Structure formats: C-alpha cells, structure tokens
Amino acid sequence: MTSRKPPSPELIGRFAAIVGDRYALTDPDTQAPFLTEWRRLYHGRTPIVLRPGSVAEVAEILKLASESGTSVVPQSGNTGLVGAQVPDESGSEIVVSVSRLDAIRAVDPQGFTMTVEAGVILERVQQAADEVDRLFPLSLAAEGSCEIGGNISTNAGGTGVLAYGNTRDLVLGLEVVLPTGEIWNGLRRLRKDNTGYDLKHLFIGAEGTLGIVTAAVLKLFPKPAAREVAIVGLARPEDAVALFDRVKKAAGNSVVAFELMARRGLEFVLTHVDGARDPMAEPHPWYVLVEIASGHGRDEARGLIEETLGEAFEAGLISDAAVAESLDQAADFWHLRHMLSEVQLHEGGSIKHDIAVPIAAIPAFLDEANAAVEKLIPGCRPVPFGHLGDGNLHYNISQPEGADKEEYLARWDDMSAVVHEIVRAHDGSISAEHGIGRLKRHLMDTVRDPLELDLMRRVKRSFDPNGIMNPGRVL
C-alpha cells in the first residue's frame, strides 16, 4: 500500500539519483511552478519533483515507487482544470514531470501520422504537422503551454471536436510506463487493427491513474484549403439547434465549429475588451459562430455558407448574419468568442459548469437551468456559451450585480447541485471535457452507478495493484 508519510531522505536520494541532481528539484523556489495550477484552487507540497530525460528513467522511477509504495503524480504542461496534476498537501507524493520528453520521433505525411513524446507542447505538434502540409486539429486555449501527454491523459476537447473528434479520436497508439515500471509499447500507426482488446482507450482520459503516457502516435489530416466564418443572430436556442441541422446537412463533416453564445456574454465582451465591436446593427438574444472548412477552395465554402444561411433566413430561423469578409474579420469574430471566459472576471464571481447534454436537449436544459438558478439566487446572471455541435456548454453564472463576491462563490456547491440535477435528468455529463481530478471526485457516485464504479476500480486494481498512480484522483 502507499504511504501518506513523506518518503525518507534515503529514498528521496535514490529517486534523485535516477534523473541526476540537476533534474531532481527539492528547493521550494524551483519546485513552485509544479505545485500550483492556474486556477489556484490547489496548492500542494512534495519532497521532490523529478524531471526524467528518457522513457527508461520514467520506468526506473515507477519501479522504485512501486517497490517503496511511494505515490506518484504525473505532470506535463500543468494546465489542467481539475487538480489532477499537482501533488496534495500531505508532502508524501512525488511529482514526475514529462516535459523533458519532448522529441518528435517521427512524422509520416503519407501515412497521416506523427509520433511524439508526452512533453511536446501542443502548439509544436500543430506546427510540425503544418510543416509537412498536414493538420493536427486539436486546438484549445492553453495550446501554447499544454503538452500532448496531458491532452491525452485528460482526453482534451477544444474547438475542433465537431469535425475531428476529441483527443481520444486523434490517437492511434500509445507508449505507457506502467505502475510497475514496465514499458508498454503500443505505438501502432494503423487505422485498422483487430487483434485483442484495445488497451489504449483505458489510458486515454485516465488522468494518470493507470500509468504514465510517454509517447503517442497521432492522426494527421489534410489541411483545409479555405475556411469561412460567420456570426448569426437568433431569437431562441431551438432555432440554433435547427440551424445546426441545416448546416450539417449542407456541409457534413466540413463543419468545423458551431458555437452558441447568449447576448449577455457578448455584452460583457463589448464592455470589457478594447476595440471589440458588435458584429451586427441590432442586438439578438442568441448568437452562433459557424466555421466551415473546404478542401477544394474558398469559393465553394463561401457559396455553401451563404446559401445555407440565406435559406435559414427565409425559413425564419435566423434574424441576421454576417459572413467574415477577410481573415482579419474572421479572427475578430473568433476573438469575441474566445474572450468570453476572461471577461467574466470583470463581472464579479462566476460559478462554472462544464456540462454536456444530447444536442436536442440543449434548449430544454437552458430553460430549466436558467429558471432554477434564478430561483436559488435571484438576480444571478447566466452566461451560457460553448460547443453546441458537441452538446457541450460552459454554463457559467455571474453573480448578481452589486452582490458580495465571496458570499456568492460560497454558494458554488448549492448552485452546482441544482445545475447537475438538470444535467442528469437529460442523461448529460457533469464533466464534458475537463475531467474529474480532485475537483469532481466526490461527484462520481452521483453520475456513475455502483457497478460502473466497481468496474473502473477493478481495472485500476489490476493495472496498479499498489495504488501508487495519482491516488485520490478520478476514483
């Protein structure tokens, strides 16, 4: 069993010897960046941060951890939002950072694959694909600092899911160091391979509780020749769902983004972001940002988006629409969307939810949730936005104007209970893309029945019998 006591100085010395003193951080100052995550919900302690420079070193570390019953917290870019990647407050957990495993091992443009190590920053993966005229479509706000090992371990979502899937769908093979220190080479580059259980899917999204992902084979895609972006004004979420239907029918898998925003969010952006401009002359209760890619050429995507929006206008589904006339204007439209999270900081406390429901249930969810939170805290201001095409909404609620921020945030659990109950009634998810970590672990038995939790624990026990990998996260 793992110990909740700090490892002995002798044991710490043995861990340090594996990576060498330069990469064994025991000084509080050099440790600091590894101990806090950016939302600052968690701040932990550790006797040692290890920065292995090879897969063999990772294996040695886990072998020793297994033998000595030492708990291990794997970390890559440290941009996770649920506290899975920082040590707890006990001082008993060691941190293993994979950031030095940053080689791009192979790029195969003809086979549309790339083999990368866990510590490669997502943006570098994107660039390496771009250099061989390919697209790696995973894209999210943290892409300049998050690392692919963490993206895989959390099954990251982001803005490209509608056309390309979640991170899970972008992985062909994995290399994983198991809790015992054994190295599983599952670096397959094949699109089709039916030879036994597909183990990689257990490690993807396991948040480091079953082993440490050290490398992966990623899927690449052709680069679209053109992208067209439009913002649409609508009266109701129902109309947005109907519009999604039409756009999907017209453009199929070329629909790259279909993002819903309430007017309130746009107003926050217009108020707080320098130079932000209302994209339309009149205000509308709801907006959708649509992006369509085309392999063929600009004219095709342009014609398609204009025709589809024109027909939707005639059908009374939409009130107004603006198609970006230039790449700059397309970037401006996206900027309105991307700033939605940040501007909420200027409107006092914000209680956040990362939920998903079946797409057709989105209008009912919004009606019910808006009514329920207003009843709980009159005057609170929902700012729903997110990936309608994936059924994933960031259902954030700003405090009532003039309310006390701390008092408001103290109601987080009450508010979430109300929202999550509605999510469950629609067969939804309380963590669509951010994961469970420590933040939502106490909610697992409200969203998974005892049998499913038992199956997960059986898998955990059979892969990590000593329970050394990221204990207290997920399960």
* Residue of 43, 45, 248, 272 interacting with its own copies (CB under 8 A): 248
**Smallest distance, its own copies to C-beta of residue 155, A:** 5
Report if residue 113 touches its own copies, rule: CB under 8 A. Answer: yes
Report if residue 431 touches its own copies, rule: CB under 8 A. Answer: yes
Q: Segment near its own copies (CB under 8 A), from 283-291, 364-372, 413-421, 444-452?
A: 444-452
Distance CA 142, CA 224 (A): 23
Report if residue 65 touches its own copies, rule: CB under 8 A. Answer: no
Phi, psi of 446 (to 5 degrees): -90, -15
Report if residue 254 touches its own copies, rule: CB under 8 A. Answer: yes
**Smallest distance, its own copies to C-beta of residue 409, A:** 24
Report if residue 427 touches its own copies, rule: CB under 8 A. Answer: yes
**Smallest distance, its own copies to C-beta of residue 176, A:** 10
Q: Segment near its own copies (CB under 8 A), from 55-63, 65-73, 249-257, 341-349?
A: 249-257
The residues in 262-291 that bind its own copies, with binding defined as CB under 8 A, are none
**Smallest distance, its own copies to C-beta of residue 323, A:** 16
Report if residue 367 touches its own copies, rule: CB under 8 A. Answer: no
Distance CA 129, CA 91 (A): 40
**Smallest distance, its own copies to C-beta of residue 110, A:** 4
* Residue of 197, 281, 328, 406 interacting with its own copies (CB under 8 A): 197
Report if residue 361 touches its own copies, rule: CB under 8 A. Answer: yes
The residues in 386-415 that bind its own copies, with binding defined as CB under 8 A, are 387, 390-392
Q: Which is nearer to its own copies, 49 or 432 (CB)?
A: 432
Tokens, residue 73: 């917290």
Q: Which is nearer to its own copies, 78 or 392 (CB)?
A: 392
- The residue type found at 450 is P
User: Pick from 107, 80, 93, 12: which is nearest to 45 by CA?
Assistant: 93
Full 3-state SS string of the chain: CCCCCCCCHHHHHHHHHHHCHHHEECCHHHHHHHCECCCCCCECCCCCEECCCCHHHHHHHHHHHHHHCCCEEEECCCCCCCCCCCCCCCCCCEEEECCCCCCEEEEECCCCEEEEECCCEHHHHHHHHHHCCEECCCCCCCCCCCEHHHHHHCCCCCCCHHHHCCHHHHEEEEEEECCCCCEEEECCCCCCCCCCCCCHHHHCCCCCCCCEEEEEEEECEECCCEEEEEEEEECCHHHHHHHHHHHHHHHHHHEEEEEEEEHHHHHHHHHHCCCCCCCCCCCCCEEEEEEEEECCCHHHHHHHHHHHHHHHHHCCCCCEEEECCCHHHHHHHHHHHHCHHHHHHHHCCEECCEEECCHHHHHHHHHHHHHHHHHHCCCCEEEEEEEHHHCEEEEEEECCCCCCHHHHHCCHHHHHHHHHHHHHHCCCECECCCCCCCCCHHHHHHHCCHHHHHHHHHHHHHHCCCCCECCCCCC
* Residue of 356, 377, 419, 469 interacting with its own copies (CB under 8 A): 356
* Residue of 322, 448, 467, 472 interacting with its own copies (CB under 8 A): 448
Cβ–Cβ under 8 Å, residues 207 and 153: yes
Bridge partners (DSSP) listed for residue 215: 117, 175
* Residue of 67, 456, 467, 472 interacting with its own copies (CB under 8 A): 456
* Residue of 112, 268, 333, 385 interacting with its own copies (CB under 8 A): 112
- Which positions from 223 to 242 touch its own copies by CB under 8 A, shown as an x/- string? xx----------------x-
Report if residue 163 touches its own copies, rule: CB under 8 A. Answer: yes
* Residue of 31, 66, 155, 396 interacting with its own copies (CB under 8 A): 155
**Smallest distance, its own copies to C-beta of residue 267, A:** 27
b/e code 2-25 from CB counts within 10 Å (16+ = b): beeebbeeebbebbbebbeeebbb
Q: Segment near its own copies (CB under 8 A), from 39-47, 55-63, 317-325, 430-438?
A: 430-438
Residue corresponding to tokens 């398609």:
304
* Residue of 249, 298, 346, 405 interacting with its own copies (CB under 8 A): 249
* Residue of 67, 245, 267, 332 interacting with its own copies (CB under 8 A): 245
* Residue of 17, 315, 345, 360 interacting with its own copies (CB under 8 A): 360
Report if residue 348 touches its own copies, rule: CB under 8 A. Answer: no
Report if residue 133 touches its own copies, rule: CB under 8 A. Answer: yes
* Residue of 14, 329, 447, 467 interacting with its own copies (CB under 8 A): 447
How many residues sit in the footprint of its own copies (CB under 8 A)? 95
Q: Which is nearer to its own copies, 11 or 357 (CB)?
A: 357
Q: Which is nearer to its own copies, 15 or 365 (CB)?
A: 365
Report if residue 170 touches its own copies, rule: CB under 8 A. Answer: no
Report if residue 384 touches its own copies, rule: CB under 8 A. Answer: no
Kindly report the CA angle at 141 between 139 and 143, in degrees rounded to 5?
A: 60
**Smallest distance, its own copies to C-beta of residue 163, A:** 7
